[in-house]
Chain A
Amino acid sequence: MEEHHIKLDLANPYLSSLGTKGGSKSEPKNGPVPFKMPPKTAQIRLVSSHPEVYEPCDDSFALVDALLADRTNLLAHDPTICMEVGCGSGYVITSLALMLGREDSGIHYFATDINPHAVRVTCETLDAHGVHAEVICADIATGLESRLEGLVDVLVVNPPYVPTPEDEVGCEGIASAWAGGENGRVVIDRILPIADKLLSENGWLYMVTLAANNPLQICVLMRQKGYASRIVVQRSTEEESLHVIKFWRDAEVLREAKEQVGTSKTTPAVMEYLLSQFPRMSFWRTGGNSSSNS
């Protein structure tokens, strides 16, 4: 499964132009790529703004780059419903709609944000690019959770991941875009079970995480729900180290998770595999293990 994904990635001619540490830099095998219109992303000059709305930044670009890098897979995945939780300026959902296709292709988009200014700005950004998403002002997915259960094929999330004092979480306005509480995990840990509920049988989740969020442990948590994972984009800036992680339901992982119900222990082989993806995070080896057992 994993190998299959990587193989498809290498076939993506756009990947080589992405300056990401996680992405492969190898040239496509079939020689030079003939000129082709690059898949579109939202244009910054057309992205609407508001003083209380988070503007597209390194994390947004990393997420869109991850979606671009995985675009071939996404198109083959043939999604019906795509959704973004925490759409902010609308840069990501607009880019997704531009790269996967408008409604005539049979894909429909939903986007939520807790910030009423953000949902309005998202609508303006979508309009400016001539694409449509149904935009809902909601806390993660309030109001959608029961009826949209099991219908979302692709879910993208750039969560508020910055470690902050607990009382900043859920504040109104722009702070809701970053305030993540202890280890930046408070909102992420609320999103994961909702994502699991919303995702369809073949659902994929793309999520941005910060090194401080302990992404290794997030992968372990999702593995216990039956999801395999891999890093699509890894990027370090002066201030932060970002990963965009893709999670997908995997029959074998699910079977393994069911066998381990009650013990909630992650086998050494799986830990080694996950650790191999986060080579610079091996200091979490014990931390990740002990907290996943608690």
Chain B
Amino acid sequence: MRLLTHNMLSCNIKGVTNGFPLRIEVEKSMEKEVDFNIDFLKSIFSKVEWTALVDAARSLGYNELPEEVADSSTMLESSDFLKKFHHALLELHLEEGALICPETGRRFPVNKGIPNMLLHEDEV
């Protein structure tokens, strides 16, 4: 799974109010090249929780993203920034590991790149 997906996932166990972002536990990660599309990056940027992406990328060993994006309109014109954003969002994959709810510690396993977000009966 890509970090784009990680950025769109949260724990929705009944009663959990603070289920985002899920902490990443890495057993195996990989990089896969993805075609670059500036329009996509620009349109998705405002939907991405930046800090969650920075932390997720760091947990997969990628430390090149700036902590904060103060002036997004300038940053989104920088090809250096866009390349790093593209790499972190789409090319880093969590293959094996788990996503951990920050509030409850519940583990959602990730196998062969597929997160399992199914809840148990008593969690719905």
- Chain A residues in 8 Å Cβ range of B19: 146
- Chain A residues in 8 Å Cβ range of B4: 108, 134
Bound-complex Cα distance A146 to B10 (A): 7
Q: Is the CB of A143 within 8 A of B11?
A: yes
B87 contacts partner chain A, Cβ-Cβ < 8 Å: no
- Chain B residues in 8 Å Cβ range of A143: 9-12, 108, 115, 117
Q: Given A103-B35, A106-B40, are A144 and B118 neighbors across the interface (CB < 8 Å)? A: no
Contact of A144 among B8, B39, B113 (CB under 8 A): B8
- Chain B residues in 8 Å Cβ range of A119: 114
A105 contacts partner chain B, Cβ-Cβ < 8 Å: yes
- Chain B residues in 8 Å Cβ range of A106: 37, 39-40, 43
- Chain A residues in 8 Å Cβ range of B36: 104
Q: Is the CB of A139 within 8 A of B114?
A: no
Report which residue of B8, B108, B117 has the largest number of chain A beta carbons within 10 angstroms of its beta carbon. Answer: B8
Bound-complex Cα distance A116 to B114 (A): 9
**Chain A residue with Cβ nearest B113:** A123
Q: Closest CB of chain B to A96's CB: distance in Å?
A: 17
Bound-complex Cα distance A223 to B113 (A): 38
- Chain A residues in 8 Å Cβ range of B9: 136, 143-144, 147
B44 contacts partner chain A, Cβ-Cβ < 8 Å: yes
Bound-complex Cα distance A123 to B116 (A): 14
**Chain B residue with Cβ nearest A147:** B8
- Chain B residues in 8 Å Cβ range of A108: 4, 40, 44
- Chain A residues in 8 Å Cβ range of B10: 143, 146-147
Within 8 A of B (CB), among A95-150: 102-108, 110, 114, 116, 119-120, 123, 132, 134-139, 142-148
B34 contacts partner chain A, Cβ-Cβ < 8 Å: yes
**Chain B residue with Cβ nearest A104:** B35
Contact of A120 among B2, B11, B114, B118 (CB under 8 A): B114
- Chain B residues in 8 Å Cβ range of A146: 10, 12, 19-20
Known interface pairs A103-B34, A136-B1, A146-B12; 7 further A-B residue pairs with C-beta atoms within 8 A, sorted by A's residue number: A114-B118, A119-B114, A136-B114, A137-B116, A143-B12, A144-B117, A151-B8
* Pairs across A and B, CB under 8 Å, 10 listed: A80-B43, A106-B39, A110-B5, A116-B116, A135-B114, A136-B1, A143-B11, A145-B12, A147-B20, A151-B8
User: Measuring CB to CB, which residues of chain A are less than 8 angstroms from any residue of chain B?
Assistant: 80, 102-108, 110, 114, 116, 119-120, 123, 132, 134-139, 142-148, 151
